Structure 1
Amino acid sequence: MNDKIVIVTGANSGIGKAAAIRFIEEGYKVIMACRNLDKSKKVQQEIIELTENDRIDLLQLDMSSFKSIEDFCFGFKEKYKKLDILIHNAGYFNHGEKNYQLSPDNIELSFATNAIGPFLMTQLLTDILKKSEDARVLNACTTNVRHFFEPKRKIDFENLQGEFMDTRPYNIYKMYGDSKMALLMLTFKMADKLKKDGIKVNAVQIPAIKMSKETMRKFKSAWRIAAVVQNVFSSSPETMADTYFHICTSEEFKDITGKLINNKREIMQSSHYASGLIQEVKQLFDKGVYPKYADNIDNIEMVWDLAVKLTKAKMKIYD
């Protein structure tokens, strides 16, 4: 695998760090794409010492900033002539945030980081992904999208640039869920658009993951106790890193595109459950289905059109 190149965004902690280690141990060249260079340089050195392998590069990337994404992609193409695997692992979620947070491009911060950023970055790297014999893109979604099983739940398209920041309360939990649902729908559309180029695009549904001590310290006392309990039943970053690796390298998923895959490496299906209390309860416990909202063509086109509109100054639109 000495010629295989992998980009992992958010590779300085959690699943991203574990994934970087996993790929390096298997002989891949890994590019850590991270916002905080000071922290990331230390992690990079730690990984080199742990794996006894220096096939790991570090480039700065802020997924919330169009300019940073553009600079990263330009810098990557200056150094490398192809890209085999692109893993959009980085995400933004600031527990307890009560004030609207906007990106440098005036987009709600979690939506910019978790949905629009990956859309733009994938587009800007499409030409170099085409040069791989087996190009794969993996988008990190979460079980948070399952809140869209609620029939009235929808993405608030009219309030993604702070339009109502002075009149509506900010809900980071809803915005985070909206951004991950948008990413899932963009995955479906990108997979369809890039199929002709041989580029596979899938999403992985990440369950609750064991949190680091650093993350735990951000919680207030009551929430910290709940987090401790959650950690007991949560998956490890290493387990999910193995799942990333399997989806991005195995023969099993070589020809799979436009799918949501759960942490058991099963391809999920759009919910087939009918309305009604019993059916809705069964749906909640079925880990093999995702909300029908994600398959709604109108919803997908709205997310796609929004992403194109917001990024059109930075990219050439798909043919």
Structure 2
Amino acid sequence: MKKQRITVITGANSGIGKAAAHRFASEGHTVVMACRNMERSKPVLEEIISKTGNEKTTLMQLDISSFQSIRNFCHDFKSRFDRLDILIHNAAYFNHGEKYRLSLDHLELTFATNVFGPLLMTELLLPHLKKSEDPRILNASSNIIKHFFDPKRVIEMDNLKGENIKDKSFSVYKMYCSSKMALVMLTFTLAEEFQQHGIRVNGLQINGAKMSKNTLQKVTPGWRTIAFVQNLYFPPPEKIGNLYHELCTAEEFSDATGKLFNDKKEIMKPGIPDPGLSAQVRQLFSGAFYPLYADNRENREKLWKFSKEVIKNN
């Protein structure tokens, strides 16, 4: 008999999140779709229930970039459910071409959505994760972190609180890259922090998935053309949604923690120090390696301290 799990998926009203919600619902799990736009999400909820027949699928409001929204969600969730088995941080902000934007908490919007929000949500839901017999957390990363194979690349944390909102060199693409690397580093740190509780924390490096028309319309015109071309080659979101389900429910991954998986469900390895040219190319395109930057203890401790202070002070 299959274990029936209580699952929270952020950003579950479109793309990979929607595909994952459908897969979990079709397997009979309790699914909480944590979404920002309720009006747009309600038809998706109805569609999933209609197609799967799973009445245990529900919708709850969450703006992962807002600390108050996260606190409200976690309070409501804990009042409605007795535990949490699976937490999937799927929602992300990636509007390439946009100018510097601040969240409601006066934080750079990309990091607020992709890093600080997921960390706060995870910590607030920790008591309910502890109550699960098989608690698992999955963070959605991206192959965009490959830019950190460049040894000169670093996460710049000196403009994440609106210090220089008019910075003309600001790039959402670069910030998205840094935020996804930060999420991988926090994945490794959280795995260590939560090991004593038996909570497994892993990441999935996503190489891309076909974007919906609605998502494409969010992207600025110049980037939209590039995204449209990429869409021709990206796999359907159902492929990644199925990976979410396997990594979070399959027995073969029950002991894995502090790992970054690729789209072949393989555990990725840290890159080779000071590689030659051929090794550099292999690292960059093989999908088997992640940048050594993520394993640097000093980098991870600096990010952890900074992120915890941001949460504490907001």
TM over 0.5: yes
* Contact 2:268-2:290 within 8 A present in 1 as well: yes
> Distance between the aligned counterparts of 1:162 and 1:224, measured in 2?
26
- In the aligned structure 2, how far is the partner of 1:221 from the partner of 1:138? 32
Q: Aligned partners of 1:36, 1:67: CA distance in 2, in Å?
A: 16
Counterpart residue type for residue 165 of structure 1: I
Unaligned ranges ≥5, structure 1: 315-319
Q: Distance in 2 between matches of 1:64 and 1:218?
A: 17
Please say if 1:232 is aligned against 2:232. yes
Q: Equivalent residue for 1:201?
A: 201
1:267-295 per-position Cα deviation (integer Å, ceiling 9, x unaligned): 00100253443332222122100000000
**Greater alpha carbon shift after TM alignment, 281-290 vs 183-192:** 281-290
TM-score of the two chains, using structure 2 as the length reference: 0.95
Kindly indicate whether the alpha-carbon contact (under 8 Å) linking 1:141 and 1:184 is maintained by their aligned counterparts in 2: yes
> Equivalent residues in 2 for 1:223-262 (5 A)?
223-262=223-262
**1:165–1:75 distance in 2 versus 1, CA, 3 Å:** same
Equivalent residue for 2:107? 107
SS at match of 1:307: helix
The one-letter code of the counterpart of 2:288 is G
Amino acid at match of 1:286: S
Bigger mean CA deviation after superposition, 39-48 or 134-143: 39-48
Q: Do 1:82 and 1:131's aligned partners in 2 also have CA atoms closer than 8 Å?
A: yes
RMSD: 1.6
Q: Deviations over 1:242-272 (max 9, x none)?
A: 1000100011110000010011100001002
Q: Distance in 2 between matches of 1:57 and 1:309?
A: 33
* Stretch moving more, 305-314 or 73-82: 305-314
| Structure 2: 5+ residue stretches without partners | none
Residue 235 of structure 2 aligns with an amino acid whose one-letter code is S
Distance 1:238 1:52 in 2: 18
Counterpart AA for 2:136: R
Is the Cα contact below 8 Å between 1:273 and 1:279 reproduced in 2? no
Residue type of the partner of 1:197?
H
- 1: CA distance, partners of 2:223 / 2:153: 25
Aligned position for 2:73: 72
Q: How does 1:63-212 map to 2 (within 5 A)?
A: 63-97=64-98, 99-212=99-212
Query: How far is the alpha carbon of 1:2 from its aligned partner?
Result: 7.0
State how far apart, in whole Å, the 1-side matches of 2:233 and 2:245 are: 23
Q: 1:138-192 deviations in whole A, cap 9, x for unaligned?
A: 0000011111011111111111112122345221001111111111100000000
- In structure 2, relative to structure 1, the CA distance for the partners of 1:151 and 1:2 (3 Å cut) is closer
How far apart, in 2, do the equivalents of 1:148 and 1:107 lie?
Answer: 23
The alignment covers a number of residue pairs equal to 313
Identity of aligned residues (%): 52
Q: Which moved more, 1:294-303 or 1:222-231?
A: 222-231
Secondary structure of the equivalent of 1:134?
A: coil
**Residue pairs, 1:32-43, within 5 angstroms:** 32-43=33-44
Distance 1:291 1:4, change over 3 A: same
Assess, with a 3 A threshold, how the Cα gap between structure 1 residues 168 and 213 changes in structure 2: closer, same or farther.
closer
Indicate conservation of the 8 Å contact 2:201/2:257, yes or no.
Answer: yes
Q: When the two structures are superposed, what TM-score results if normalisation uses the length of structure 1?
A: 0.94
| Cα deviation 1:74-103 (Å, max 9, x = unaligned) | 000000010000000000111210x21111
Helix, strand or coil: the match of 2:158?
Answer: helix
The offset of 1:303, in angstroms, is: 0.9
1:218 to partner: Cα distance: 4.1
1:2·1:29 contact (CA, 8 Å) conserved in 2? no
Equivalent-residue separation in structure 2 for 1:92 and 1:265 (angstroms): 25
Superimposed CA distance per residue, residues 59-84 of structure 1 (whole angstroms, 9 cap, x where no aligned partner): 10001011100000000000001000
Cα distance in 2 for residues equivalent to 1:131 and 1:56: 21
